[in-house]
Amino acid sequence: MIDQTHDLQLRSWVGSANDAASDFPVQNLPLGMFRRAGSEERFRACVAIGDFVLDLGDLRVASLLTEIEPWRAALTAHASLNAFMAAGRPALKALRRGLSRVLREGFSQQDALSGSLIAQADAEFTVPAQIGDFSDFYCSIHHALRVGKLFRPDNPLLPNYRWLPVGYHGRSSSIRITGGTVRRPAGQVIDPGPGAPAYGPCRRLDYEAELGFFVGAGNALGQPIPIDEIEDHLFGVCLLNDWSARDIQAWEYQPLGPFLAKSFATTLSPWIVTFDALEPYRRAHRRPDGDPAPLPHLSSSTDSTRGAIDIKVDVYMQSARMAAAGVAPFRLSSSTYADSYWTLAQVVAHHASNGCNLQPGDLLGSGTLSGPGVQSCACLLELTEGGRSPVVLPTGETRSFLEDGDTLILRGYCEAEGFARIGLGACQATVLGSVPTRLDPDHARHSPGEAASVA
Yes or no: say if 12 and 50 are a contact pair by the CB < 8 Å rule: yes
CA dist 249 → 16, 165, 362 (Å): 44, 20, 24
Sign of CA dihedral 116, 120, 126, 131: positive
Query: What residues are paired with 231 via a beta bridge?
Result: none
3-state secondary structure the chain: CCCHHHCCCCCECCHHHHCCCCCCCCCCCCEEEEEECCCCCCCEEEEEECCEEEECCCHHHHHHCHHHHHHHHHHHCCCCCHHHHHCCHHHHHHHHHHHHHHHECCCCCHHHHHCCEEEHHHEEEECCCCCCCEEEECCCHHHHHHHHHHHCCCCCCCCCCCCCCCEEECCCCCEEECCEEEECCEEEECCCCCCCCEEEECCCEECCEEEEEEECCCCCCCCCCCHHHHHHHEEEEEEEECCEEHHHHHHHCCCCCCCCCCCCCEEECCCEEECCCCHHHEECCCCCCCCCCCCHHHCCHHHHHHCEECCEEEEEEECHHHHHCCCCCEEEEEEEHHHCCCCHHHHHHHHHCCCCCCCCCCEEECCCCCCCCHHHCCCHHHHCCCCCCCEECCCCCEECCCCCCCEEEEEEEECCCCCCCEEEEEEEEEEECCCCCCCCCCCCCCCCCCCCCCC
> Which listed residue (143, 285, 350, 351) is catalytic?
143
> 124 — phi, psi (to 5°)?
-120, 150
Known active-site residue 143: yes
Yes or no: say if 388 and 455 are a contact pair by the CB < 8 Å rule: no
The DSSP bridge pattern shows strands 330-336 and 312-318 to be antiparallel
CA-to-CA distance for 387 and 336, rounded, in angstroms?
A: 24
- By annotation, the residues acting in catalysis are 143
